Structure 1
């Protein structure tokens, strides 16, 4: 199964980009993972959440499972997230796209279309930080599944 994180706009801080790249490199031992950065859509100079939502959805390959990152989504422990990923693999899910909105969030259209709406915390993070936290949690899930000591 392949995992793809789709973002809007470039990651601004180099330390976050380096962390994302680090976990992506580590994940190659367990699964295929990639990131894709889409250009933010603006209307009258401001982010247009509706246009961005359509852009995110259009980027999802046909037949892939969609996970929308949103503060209103469900939360999992790391162990439960590992179990969820195992379930996707057992069901033969070809790929999972994690959709991360821009600074103004993610559109209702994306949330409605998602197969899973996921929140990483009750706290608020920058959309750039969410990219890194999600990549780390996908990596952690695979180390849990493999019974490795990283999780402890």
Structure 2
């Protein structure tokens, strides 16, 4: 039991809250700038308001689903949390979205945006964040990206 507690504490310690520019550079290096028409500033804005750049962010929804990680990826559509019946379109366990290694989260966000309904399937309409022509350049100010 004691070793389980230590492992849980280590897992929690591996969470990361990115700084804005650090996150912008990570997204750019991962090919997110302009991916399926979503600008780098849109991604930075989206993740700022959805998770405050926190890889361990979780939001429990009234429909029984949960939003996971830095992108707040929903368990009903995109990952399997083994609590609700999931479509699991990203083919992953939701727990991998709660890691400082954001590879799975970025890959799943790319899958979300490729969906016929695009990112609107997930959180954008609720948060009202995808720019739709608004100037979001301030999210990249001073980042050198």
TM-score (norm 1): 0.30
TM-score (norm 2): 0.31
Larger RCO, structures 1/2 (Cα 8 Å, 6+ apart): 1
- Structure (1 or 2) with the greater strand fraction: 1
